[in-house]
Structure 1
Amino acid sequence: MEFTLADRVSALTPSTTLAITAKAKEMKSQGIDVIGLGAGEPDFNTPEHIIKAAYDSMKEGHTKYTPSGGMATLKEAIIQKFKHDQNLTYAASEVIVTSGAKHALYTLFQVILNEGDEVIIPTPYWVSYPEQVKLAGGTPVIVEGKEENEYKITPKQLEETITSKTKAVILNTPSNPTGMLYSPQELQAIGEVCLKNEILIVSDEIYEKLVYDGNTHSSIAELSPLLKEQTIVINGVSKSHSMTGWRIGYAAGNEKIIKAMTNLASHSTSNPTTTSQYGAVAAYFGDQQPVEDMRQAFEERLTIVFDKLNNIPGFHCLKPQGAFYLFPNVSEAAKNTGYNNVDEFTKALLEEAKVAVIPGSGFGSNDNIRLSYATSLDALEEAIERMNEFVVNKSK
């Protein structure tokens, strides 16, 4: 018997990031010396006090269901975090805890989008944004964040893209994959366009704790009460506390939307993993020094490897202000080494130089590659040396 898949999944594009990471792991399992720079997760273990809190919770019998929208104690921790970091005040009814920030985004689009509703997505974008919008019946509308504007869109671009079908715009700051930050002034100007046209702002701030060179993160929701009212903030503990596998994220914003998300979650996941929630409580209420230690380590790596990467012939990279990615334009290097496009160049880097990076096409930017510096400094320097040797030899 032949089964027919639903249309909603037949059109999905597989995650480029996961595909490259899986290929690199397969090569490593065959004994091939591959350096993987594809993974989007910190290379540090979860801080010990978080692990202990989760372990203790299990020993104490906290292994049962929790409310679908998350435990009250974790919501309180999140509320206090917002108050401390952005001076934002939320009620418990305006917060939902989810199985990762990705699940928060997925659930949000499911409850706000009807067939044909449009969501404006700036490029370069995180790979799952367009696919999640399509799964909810919406239409992704792509707007190019130009390299000369640090890969950020302008208020004019946004205004020109809005139609009667526009439901929301996604902002990701600091950005995956570019590491760029929107300034408060840029956010305010974009926010004014959203207020004028009554479109929802989806603010993905998962990398907020990872900012460098004296830069600071700003949430568009903190700029005015009107913008707060029109913004759904997405965040989580995955990147800030090195808890990617724990799968705890959250959304905060309009009570009606949060309630709908909670109702949907009750029929999909029942609740975020109980043990992980106890760990997240410890993450926010406990010692924050490990967060700063990790941030400093990433900044040190960035400082050391940035110039070396830019010295590879045909590589042109803006210095990221946050997250843990480098996003160089390598179109010139691809052309000089005889490849038709960056995708082919990336494939050759993996197969010949044994360096796994993510092609920018997965992020809506065909001229770039994404490298994660969430790995050891030795591995980073070796990877850059291999890429440089590959480009130099192929260009002869």
Structure 2
Amino acid sequence: MNPLSSRVTRTRPAATFATAALARSLRAAGHDVISLAIGEPDFPTPPHVIEAAHQAAIDGQTRYPPIVGTDALRGAVARKFARDQGLQVAPADVLITNGGKQAIFDAVMAVADEGDEVIIPTPCWSGYIQVVEFAGARPVFVPCPAESGFLLSAPALEASVGARSKLLLLSYPNNPSGAVADIGMLDGIADVLRKHPQLRVISDDIYEHLVFDGVYTTLAARAPDLADRILTMSGVSKSYAMTGWRLGFCTGPRDWLDGMTVVQGSSTAGVSTISQ
């Protein structure tokens, strides 16, 4: 029998979904289980969202969508980035993805080659490791202990940068620690990035609206001179309890977005028109 590809065999299974399945089976067996596996909001999708999707289906919005997303949604997301992140971007600089995870997958696959290194502060979401391994890159973990508030320090980042470093994968507000990046941390990271022009950044801001202490800001807003190396992504899963609708979005430099569009066009193509 022919073996499976190395892409599959070197990539570990999705740990969050395996843990969630175990929690469900334990509940079904009568155990009182609190699952911390998946970031699933504890409220339903808002009724006006469901009604809008219903109306979209009635109106015939059921055909193939553009790979990059509909013009209407890309425009709305551009306005959202201006309002919430302070980023002035054109609709043409927005890519709509099948959930936030596809934005990360597309972004890593577009720039990371076999043997490249992707810097990941820990604790981290296990999905990052899965994507990096699938791409054939090597995850480089940088511990961010509780004593530091789970924040990435500039010296720790500097020490992790090597000759094959290609990407830094940031997650603030952080999953799973809940830490919120402060201005000092972001400015320190920006200073390190200025010394290493080969290093790009994925800023995973999916938890941007779940902030209970501190003030949310994002790296691209603090370091506009690095905008040509930063991809900022978010989505509706956490803020609007739409995890099953699979709708994410991102903005960044045009060359990176073009590469991500090639990746997305080679896999899922566009996002459900009804979700959009």
Matched residue of 1:65: which SS?
coil
List gaps (5 residues or longer) in structure 2: none
**What is aligned with 1:139?**
138
Give the letter for the 1:212 counterpart. Answer: F
Structure-1 separation of matches of 2:238 and 2:128: 18
Structure-1 separation of matches of 2:54 and 2:4: 41
Give the letter for the 2:203 counterpart. Answer: S
**What is aligned with 2:118?**
119
Q: Does 1:179 align with 2:178?
A: yes
Summarize deviations over 1:197-248 as a string: whole Å, max 9, x none: 11111110000001013x2101010013213222100110100111100000
Kindly state the Cα deviation for residue 34 of structure 1 after the two structures are TM-superposed. Answer: 3.5
On the 8 A contact 1:220/1:228 being kept in 2, the answer is: no
Kindly state the Cα deviation for residue 38 of structure 1 after the two structures are TM-superposed. Answer: 3.1
**What is aligned with 1:192?**
191
On the 8 A contact 1:195/1:230 being kept in 2, the answer is: no
**What is aligned with 2:212?**
212
Give the letter for the 1:145 counterpart. Answer: C
Matched residue of 1:128: which SS?
helix
Which segment is superposed worse, 40-49 or 83-92? Answer: 83-92
Structure-2 separation of matches of 1:232 and 1:216: 20
Aligned length: 275
Change (3 A) 1:49 1:195: same
**What is aligned with 2:103?**
104
Give the letter for the 1:202 counterpart. Answer: I
- TM-score of the pair, normalised by structure 2: 0.96
**What is aligned with 1:287?**
none
Structure-2 separation of matches of 1:36 and 1:225: 39
| Aligned pairs (5 A) from 1:381-396 | none
Of Structure 1 and Structure 2, which has the larger fraction of its residues in helix?
1
Kindly state the Cα deviation for residue 33 of structure 1 after the two structures are TM-superposed. Answer: 4.1
Structure-2 separation of matches of 1:257 and 1:92: 15
| Aligned pairs (5 A) from 1:319-330 | none
On the 8 A contact 2:10/2:134 being kept in 1, the answer is: no
On the 8 A contact 2:144/2:150 being kept in 1, the answer is: yes
Matched residue of 1:274: which SS?
coil
Matched residue of 2:170: which SS?
strand
Matched residue of 1:158: which SS?
helix
Give the letter for the 2:102 counterpart. Answer: H
Which segment is superposed worse, 51-60 or 220-229? Answer: 220-229
**What is aligned with 1:390?**
none
Change (3 A) 1:55 1:125: same
Larger radius of gyration between Structure 1 and Structure 2? 1
**What is aligned with 2:12?**
13
Change (3 A) 1:8 1:80: same
Change (3 A) 1:38 1:132: closer
Give the letter for the 1:108 counterpart. Answer: A
Kindly state the Cα deviation for residue 95 of structure 1 after the two structures are TM-superposed. Answer: 1.2
On the 8 A contact 1:27/1:34 being kept in 2, the answer is: yes
Q: Does 1:273 align with 2:272?
A: yes
Kindly state the Cα deviation for residue 263 of structure 1 after the two structures are TM-superposed. Answer: 2.0
Summarize deviations over 1:167-202 as a string: whole Å, max 9, x none: 111111000000001101210111111122111111
On the 8 A contact 1:93/1:258 being kept in 2, the answer is: no
Which segment is superposed worse, 24-33 or 216-225? Answer: 24-33
**What is aligned with 1:66?**
65
Kindly state the Cα deviation for residue 3 of structure 1 after the two structures are TM-superposed. Answer: 4.2
Kindly state the Cα deviation for residue 97 of structure 1 after the two structures are TM-superposed. Answer: 0.3
Change (3 A) 1:247 1:195: same
Change (3 A) 1:116 1:38: closer
Give the letter for the 2:193 counterpart. Answer: C
Kindly state the Cα deviation for residue 106 of structure 1 after the two structures are TM-superposed. Answer: 0.4
- TM-score of the pair, normalised by structure 1: 0.67
Summarize deviations over 1:340-375 as a string: whole Å, max 9, x none: xxxxxxxxxxxxxxxxxxxxxxxxxxxxxxxxxxxx
Which segment is superposed worse, 223-232 or 62-71? Answer: 223-232
Q: Does 1:160 align with 2:177?
A: no
Identity of aligned residues (%): 37
Matched residue of 1:211: which SS?
coil
On the 8 A contact 2:14/2:130 being kept in 1, the answer is: no
The root-mean-square deviation of aligned C-alpha atoms, in Å, is 1.3
Matched residue of 1:178: which SS?
coil
Change (3 A) 1:273 1:26: same
